[in-house]
Structure 1
Amino acid sequence: MINNDTIVALATPAGAGAIAIIRLSGSEAVTIADTCFRSVKKDKRLSKQKTHTIHLGHIVDGNKTVDEVLLSVFRNPNSYTGEDVIEVSCHGSSYIQQEIIQLFLRKGCRMASAGEFTLRAFLNGKLDLSQAEAVADLIASDNEASHQLAMQQMRGGFSSEIAKLREELLNFASLIELELDFAEEDVEFADRTQFKDLIDRIVFVLKRLIDSFAVGNVIKNGIPVAIVGEPNVGKSTLLNALLNEERAIVSDIAGTTRDTIEDEISIGGVGFRFIDTAGIRETKDVVETIGIQKTFEKIAQSQVVIYLFDAVSVFAKKASLDAIKVEIEKIKNKYPQKPLVVIANKVDAINDDEKTSLKNAIPEIELLSAKTKKGVEELKLTLTNFVNTGALRNNETIVTNTRHYDALLKALEEIQKVKYGLDTGLSGDLLAIDIRQALYHFGEITGEITNDDLLGNIFANFCIGK
């Protein structure tokens, strides 16, 4: 899977900037850099410099000076990849970046593939597989909660918990296997009572980790929230109020929003993706009809639904409160698992008695004025309460990766087979088969069990310079 050659890539985003970092890794990294680097101190050779040192000088191509740079030396095994690593901090001109990279390629480097630096770190034992995947999550994190989760996993919180369970199970598996070698003597090396206690503990931990995925997945990917209701009730105005910008077009013309509009913000450290949908009504307009169909699609895809209606229209007898309650029940019945927030908008234009009347008719209602932004902060608080961030605050292990979730489900299935076997007095050779399968799925998570296809799929999603 891994080559022993020396790779090079731009480690900072492409394009012009103040500075750029070009990274080399491999057995010839120092030697190749030495042929192109001239220190401001005469006769200084990189090959003689200690690890974790920085040197001022110039990158040169023959007699041509390409740029003045700072060059960092990291020697194996004390580097990110576990190999010799050179990092060149140069000026951020796109021309300079390409000139330096092309120079290193001519000197014997190869362009790194996506995620190859982190792949080498994994293969050289600097990171396990779940930690390596957390590197990509850290780079992609765009809110406080997803950043915190990625940092926790990169430090090894999740993998250490799995590794501990795997080690304990492996110890018992060894004893079970030993019993098979002495089958004729009918002896038991593995204490069945202790083994049952271990299996119960493993089942408990696996179920907790599997259950945490529901929280981890929404924290990592953001929570889609569909804003629905009839035309002209203020859905687009609410979206603009939540985003604090004029993202959606607002007008008094019914059917202005004909397609879904999406944008994301962070509330309480958690990402929410708000979807402003077309107003739901009977219409002969072909384009608007398509937009309404998309509205129902977005409701199905969302995890939270905000149903908005116009409070002024209710008391002006332009809208029926009973009809609104029927629509609310329809959404509840069709999507019973989705949290539903019912909002009466434009409450700045109704009196206190009318507000009380709304609360009596629909107890769970929230009163809001999207135009004046009154009640918007209370709505944000309601939304954050749908996310159980207690485990995050308590620094508990939370699963965010679909691959890990799938492996945990399979491991739990095998462990439950082992538990059933213990309860029914299954023979040691059959128990051993299920234990091996459970160990296999544990190993898939941390990388004890890998194949080229798996690693290729994982690291293909990384950026080139990481």
Structure 2
Amino acid sequence: MIDQSTICAISTAPGNGAIAIVRLSGANALDISNKIFHSSKAKDLKEQKANTVHFGTIQEEDTIIDEVLLSIFKAPHSYTGEDSVEIACHGAPFIQQRILQVLLKNGARMARPGEYTQRAFLNGKMDLSQAEAVADLIASSSAAAHRVALQQMRGGFSNELAALRERLLNFISLVELELDFGEEDVEFVDRSQLTKLVIEIRNLIQKLVDSFELGNVIKNGVPVAIVGNTNVGKSTLLNALLNEDRAIVSDIAGTTRDVIEDTINLGGITFRFIDTAGIRTTQDRIESMGIERTYSKMKQAKVVLLLVDTDRDILSINESITNVNKTIDRKAQHLVVCVNKIDLIANPQQIANEIKGLNPADKLLFISAKQKHNIESLINELLRSVELDKVNEQDVIVTNIRHFEALKNALGSISRVQDGIGNQIPTDFLAQDIRECLHFLGEITGDISTDEILGNIFKNFCIGK
């Protein structure tokens, strides 16, 4: 059931600013606004046209709080689908709080986190996946994250799921009809056509499931672990990539004893660089703990930057490559070997010829972290590892773990349908698996939802949205 109370909140970021927006939404939004808003023409806001802006003052009895611009939106043509008012006031926190107080005094209540968007969902203004995309859009920190969230909010993902559900619903209706006429031994569904349809749907769901790996990277940033022996220049490289002295640089081995993380936006993608403790044999307990974390971070990274230098012989370099290959997942992780201190190398090609243990997909670069030589080539390689250029503008990319889990469950259900057709299992069992698939797809868009799911989703929103 939709809460019929009228809610209010400050929708702009906290702190001082030129202006701030206070939002009011609900059945009594215009009545409450009439009590506190005063204009020279003594307007009755309920009589004004929708989507209009009015100048006046907010008053508490005879005391003027602020001069404001008040915008009117009438149901169902508003963000929430309810009568809504937005008050643009001066941005002093004192003014914002006074306006909130007078709204509360006249019958409104404070909005809960995400309650405006929750009402938009409940009033049919958007489905659940679009509502979640609103939060992702607000939190987007890169061009790629912004693009994906905007596409999802505008219904790209929802349209894909709606098409899948429609095909499944047409199919289940025929299967159910066949069950109703089971005694007459009538077959309404051509099994060969059914198999073709199920394979198509399974492939589409599989494509969405597979897109989550990229989507998760776009949303949360690409984890890049900088690893190598002590004193090869890992901290210097981190500082060069970030263009700031983030990590301590020293000639003393074992300076970095814990992981240091920082983010930077490169080419519209957020990268999370992780400078790790140098790998070596040590009796220092704290440094040993740092080295253990190095191996842990190496396994979690999408890209592993193995830094080596020519102060060590080629045997030591090849040994480092072998050790990294034993630690990381060669199918899921991208390895870039950076030979540091190129300014001190007379013949880079000779070293390249002697390096062993690289896979065809691995990249070998010669850089100077201190002189920032060839850092641009390294950045280009990092961008290439994300493979965003292979994604079509219209491709749907799954970024939400809840959607990913539901899609995996839907994939399991439709896979059982495919196996069942091949094994000629009874139609009623096929129908059950199809219903399960529909259920999991419906969970994503909110066609099937519970108060627990809704509460968990909207509690993570900011108040005022």
Into which bin does the TM-score normalised by the smaller protein fall?
over 0.9
The answer for the alignment partner of 2:19 in structure 1 is: 19
* Alignment partners' CA distance in 1, 2:228 and 2:392: 35
The alignment status of 1:322 with 2:321, answered yes or no, reads no
Q: Give the TM-score of the pair, scaled to structure 2.
A: 0.95
The alignment status of 1:360 with 2:353, answered yes or no, reads yes
3-state secondary structure, aligned to 1:69: strand
3-state secondary structure, aligned to 1:118: helix
* Alignment partners' CA distance in 2, 1:287 and 1:295: 13
The answer for the alignment partner of 1:193 in structure 2 is: 192
The answer for the alignment partner of 1:343 in structure 2 is: 338
The answer for the alignment partner of 1:400 in structure 2 is: 399
Structure 1: runs of 5+ lacking an equivalent: 314-318
**Contact 2:299/2:329 (8 A) holds in 1:** no
Of the structure 1 ranges 78-87 and 281-290, higher mean CA displacement relative to structure 2 is found in: 281-290
* Cα offsets for 1:311-334 (capped at 9, x unmatched): 2x1xxxxx2320221121111122
1:185 is displaced (CA, Å) by 1.9
1:270 is displaced (CA, Å) by 1.2
1:115 is displaced (CA, Å) by 0.6
CA spacing shift, 1:391–1:205, aligned 2, 3 Å:
farther
**Contact 1:34/1:45 (8 A) holds in 2:** yes
Where do residues 260-409 of structure 1 align in structure 2 (5 Å cutoff)? Answer: 260-311=259-310, 313=311, 319-337=312-330, 338-351=333-346, 353=347, 355-362=348-355, 364-409=363-408
**Contact 1:358/1:365 (8 A) holds in 2:** no
1:423 is displaced (CA, Å) by 2.5
* Alignment partners' CA distance in 2, 1:425 and 1:416: 14
* Cα offsets for 1:11-37 (capped at 9, x unmatched): 111122121111111111111111111
3-state secondary structure, aligned to 2:391: helix
* Alignment partners' CA distance in 1, 2:197 and 2:430: 14
3-state secondary structure, aligned to 2:386: coil
State the Cα RMSD in Å: 1.5
* Alignment partners' CA distance in 2, 1:327 and 1:14: 50
* Alignment partners' CA distance in 1, 2:344 and 2:349: 14
The answer for the alignment partner of 2:436 in structure 1 is: 437
* Alignment partners' CA distance in 1, 2:179 and 2:282: 74
* Alignment partners' CA distance in 1, 2:85 and 2:121: 18
**Contact 2:299/2:327 (8 A) holds in 1:** no
The alignment status of 1:85 with 2:78, answered yes or no, reads no
* Alignment partners' CA distance in 1, 2:189 and 2:229: 67
CA spacing shift, 1:292–1:333, aligned 2, 3 Å:
closer
The answer for the alignment partner of 1:164 in structure 2 is: 163
**Contact 1:175/1:189 (8 A) holds in 2:** yes
* Alignment partners' CA distance in 2, 1:429 and 1:285: 65
* Alignment partners' CA distance in 2, 1:138 and 1:360: 47
CA spacing shift, 1:290–1:60, aligned 2, 3 Å:
same
* Alignment partners' CA distance in 2, 1:194 and 1:149: 34
CA spacing shift, 1:426–1:350, aligned 2, 3 Å:
closer
Of the structure 1 ranges 165-174 and 77-86, higher mean CA displacement relative to structure 2 is found in: 165-174
> Which amino acid in structure 2 is aligned with residue 17 of structure 1?
G
- Residue-pair matches, total: 457
Of the structure 1 ranges 451-460 and 422-431, higher mean CA displacement relative to structure 2 is found in: 422-431
3-state secondary structure, aligned to 2:18: strand
Of the structure 1 ranges 1-10 and 92-101, higher mean CA displacement relative to structure 2 is found in: 1-10
**Contact 2:256/2:278 (8 A) holds in 1:** yes
1:391 is displaced (CA, Å) by 4.7
The percentage of counterpart residues that share the same residue type is: 54
The answer for the alignment partner of 1:5 in structure 2 is: 5
* Alignment partners' CA distance in 2, 1:408 and 1:336: 24
Of the structure 1 ranges 3-12 and 335-344, higher mean CA displacement relative to structure 2 is found in: 335-344
Of the structure 1 ranges 297-306 and 90-99, higher mean CA displacement relative to structure 2 is found in: 297-306
* Alignment partners' CA distance in 2, 1:228 and 1:181: 64
Of the structure 1 ranges 295-304 and 89-98, higher mean CA displacement relative to structure 2 is found in: 295-304
3-state secondary structure, aligned to 2:186: coil
**Contact 2:23/2:87 (8 A) holds in 1:** yes
* Alignment partners' CA distance in 2, 1:387 and 1:139: 23
* Cα offsets for 1:262-291 (capped at 9, x unmatched): 111112211110011122222333332322
* Cα offsets for 1:140-179 (capped at 9, x unmatched): 1100111100011111111111111101211221122122
* Cα offsets for 1:86-114 (capped at 9, x unmatched): 11111111111111111111111111111
> Which amino acid in structure 1 is aligned with residue 430 of structure 2?
L
**Contact 1:391/1:397 (8 A) holds in 2:** no
> Which amino acid in structure 2 is aligned with residue 336 of structure 1?
D
* Alignment partners' CA distance in 2, 1:257 and 1:168: 56
* Alignment partners' CA distance in 2, 1:8 and 1:58: 18
The answer for the alignment partner of 2:205 in structure 1 is: 206
* Cα offsets for 1:28-53 (capped at 9, x unmatched): 111111111112x3211211111111
* Cα offsets for 1:362-412 (capped at 9, x unmatched): 275310011111110000111111112135343211111111111111111
3-state secondary structure, aligned to 1:264: strand
* Alignment partners' CA distance in 1, 2:393 and 2:134: 22
* Alignment partners' CA distance in 1, 2:316 and 2:47: 82
Where do residues 204-243 of structure 1 align in structure 2 (5 Å cutoff)? Answer: 204-243=203-242
**Contact 2:406/2:444 (8 A) holds in 1:** yes
